[in-house]
Structure 1
Amino acid sequence: MNVNSTDLKSGQISSLYTTQSLLWLLFIALGFYIKPVPWNYYETLMWALGNTFFYIIAINVNLHILIPRFMFRQSILPYLTLLLGVSLLLTPFAWMFNMWMVSDYPEMEVRWLTLPQFHFINLIILSALSSLIRVPMDWLKIQSEKKELLTRNIETELQSLKNQINPHFLFNTLNNLYALTLKKSEQAPEVVLKLSDMMRYMLYECNEPMVTIEQEMKYIRNYIELEKLRYSANSEIQLDVDEQLSKYKIAPLLLIPFVENSFKHGMQNTIDQAFIQIQAKLVGNELFFAVHNSKPQSAPDQARPKTVGGVGLVNAKRRLELIYPMRYVLDIQDMPDTFKVDLRIDLNTYSNDTNTHY
């Protein structure tokens, strides 16, 4: 969920003023409770409001001037000096006000009200305590803004990675479709339908943060069927999908780079017995996805494709890191004659019964 920074700031200010208002009411109530001199109601109210007024000045100078300009800039010594200075400046006024309020009651034992140091210490303590309100609130605001920025950056990167998914199969399929139409093959309409389904999935359904694994596997099946048009019937291509996975969800187009990689390097003409084996099954609450494919046997090592470092696989790894941090295990084995990918993803919080968002 995106949170507007203006809303965060206005919410913070509103919360701060609400807290202060409650604090002022508490001070006034305490004034009536303490009532050191037998004043009448209006005199007690004046005494409580007068002292609260000095506290309001000291606290708000601290909250809105000293903390933002000095404490948050780690200028602690100037901050403490000015905090003492503001309290020292207000002390004579607070002292004179209280002296005036008790002047008609010389017989009362209220010496503490006539001591300047009492008012100075009060102002210092309340100003310092106000920092305990402002500093945590600003820290929470900063953390919230950082989280929002991180979320936006991740969403932008994920969208960029999704847009980079290899579209080369589309051009190959169109070429194959063109060849089939020239031959007036009966396969042409079926190819058009499969291609239409795949494009619909990529353009519309993939706009959601999560799709069902059933949708993802349908896309992979269509991809495999279209790729088969390019290769001989002797090639062995297997896809085994556990039906129990249908109720779970996964990030769209997350698995296809591994399948594309297997066709790119496993179905070359230099391979005598080319094969691709793809398996998706549910193990506990985890998706186990495995792709095993052949590699060219006759080509020297220098000429072999650098499968591990392919852009598609790098893309897939990065998306896994962003969407499933600490919730996946990816094992890639680049062997002399075969290439194998084993991927496990924790689906525990991505079932059909949960809210699914990255």
Structure 2
Amino acid sequence: MLKKSLKNTIILNIGAFVLVLILELLSGWMMVDRYDTPFSFFLWGLKYAFNIMAAIWINHFILIPCFFDKKRYFIYGLLLIGSIFFVAYLEAYTKNNWSGVTKTFLFHFYTTGTGMAAFFLRRNMIIQRENAEKEKLQIEMELNYLKEQVNPHFLFNSLNSIYSLSRQQSPETPDLVMQLSELLRYQIESSKKDIVLLKEELEFIENYLLLEEKRLSKRCTIEFLIEGDLLGLKISPMLLIPFVENAVKHGAQSTNEQSTIDISASIKNTTLHFCVVNSKPSMVSISKRKGLGLENVKRRLKLLYPNSHVLKIEDTEEKYHVNLSIDLLVSKL
């Protein structure tokens, strides 16, 4: 990386030197007849180009890193003016020609200022690119961590469901174990991907609800409705399931009363509208309902769909209502 950076710096400065040389030769082209040979004219342009770049190089490679970047601005200013004056003096002082020195000083002051503007512009672009890369890396690391948290959380809830059925000695338990294995297979495969088909994700939710519906028997009515054309739309895996899990956990699972869970997924153009409504038991311990699953998915939504999702949660005495809208084509995936 260091060798590549050094190589780029050398190439950039050689290119800048050649550009300044060309500009000097073009600007003095009208005076080419004053020189004995074209070669002597070229040497004149080469000398001026070197003097211009010398002031710029002293500033870029010595003064800025040693004084400006260390916030020693006063010393930096003095040394910058001094170095420009020194270059101008060497270039123009002949026979006490202070007028020529002054003009040359002002010219070099202008070219050095232009070089500084180009230097800081380039450095700012590099810093912005590095910060963008760091931010992207940080988001990827955080998303991977959040995705890893989803796996044990979902497995824990699913095993609880199977455990409840096994205690009831339900004859459906072996079939449900196989169904759970299919759900886990999808989860493991999808966790390796950044995006999956929305159709597959909704099918996963449907199979999960079928498992929960058998476990909850007749004391919970579950409705799952899908409307609209999926159109090959894609979504981050395991993004919607925490809302469904919480509807089961804090609704039907927390009471022996009759309960309902209504879930709908409608697609309009490229926007997914996902709605989860579950009834709340009449008597239940007070809970702020801030489990790992919901906090996890809220964070993932902010990272993946920062400006293209709207999440509204309404908690009333009788119902808990989650309404999520996501434009699936606008994301950081």
Task: Answer yes or no: same fold by TM over 0.5.
Answer: yes
Q: Is 1:314 aligned to residue 295 of structure 2? A: yes
Q: 1:33 to 1:134 in 2, by over 3 A?
A: farther
Identity, % of aligned positions: 30
C-alpha distance in 2, partners of 1:12/1:221?
A: 58
- Do the aligned partners of 1:177 and 1:188 also contact (CA within 8 Å) in 2? no
Give the SS at the match of 2:216.
Answer: coil
Q: CA offset at residue 330 of structure 1?
A: 0.9
C-alpha distance in 2, partners of 1:22/1:68?
A: 25
1:35-184 alignment, distance < 5 Å: 35=32, 37-95=34-92, 99=94, 115-165=100-150, 166-167=153-154, 168-175=156-163
1:7-22 alignment, distance < 5 Å: 11=8, 14-22=11-19
Ranked by relative contact order (alpha carbons within 8 Å, sequence separation 6 or more), the top structure is: 1
C-alpha distance in 2, partners of 1:95/1:38?
A: 18
C-alpha distance in 2, partners of 1:217/1:23?
A: 63
Over the aligned positions, Cα root-mean-square deviation in angstroms equals 3.0
- Do the aligned partners of 1:237 and 1:276 also contact (CA within 8 Å) in 2? yes
What amino acid does structure 1 have at the position aligned with 2:198?
Answer: I
What amino acid does structure 2 have at the position aligned with 1:134?
Answer: F
For each residue in 1:199-251, what CA deviation from the matched residue of structure 2 results, as whole angstroms up to 9, or x when unmatched?
Answer: 23222223222211111112111221222332122310111112512521111
Give the SS at the match of 1:230.
Answer: helix
- Do the aligned partners of 1:67 and 1:131 also contact (CA within 8 Å) in 2? no
Q: 1:112 to 1:39 in 2, by over 3 A?
A: farther
Q: CA offset at residue 178 of structure 1?
A: 5.8
Could you tell me which residue of structure 1 aligns to residue 322 of structure 2?
A: 341
For each residue in 1:132-188, what CA deviation from the matched residue of structure 2 results, as whole angstroms up to 9, or x when unmatched?
Answer: 2101000111111111111111111111122222231242255368669x77x4662
C-alpha distance in 1, partners of 2:249/2:211?
A: 14
- Do the aligned partners of 2:194 and 2:237 also contact (CA within 8 Å) in 1? yes
Could you tell me which residue of structure 2 aligns to residue 107 of structure 1?
A: none
Q: 1:34 to 1:171 in 2, by over 3 A?
A: farther
For each residue in 1:34-62, what CA deviation from the matched residue of structure 2 results, as whole angstroms up to 9, or x when unmatched?
Answer: 44733311221221112222122111111
What amino acid does structure 1 have at the position aligned with 2:143?
Answer: L
C-alpha distance in 1, partners of 2:199/2:2?
A: 39
Give the gaps of 5 or more residues in structure 1. Answer: 101-110, 351-356
Aligned length: 330
C-alpha distance in 1, partners of 2:125/2:301?
A: 29
Give the SS at the match of 1:289.
Answer: strand
Could you tell me which residue of structure 1 aligns to residue 184 of structure 2?
A: 199
Give the gaps of 5 or more residues in structure 2. Answer: none
Q: 1:70 to 1:221 in 2, by over 3 A?
A: same
Q: 1:186 to 1:310 in 2, by over 3 A?
A: closer
Could you tell me which residue of structure 1 aligns to residue 174 of structure 2?
A: 188
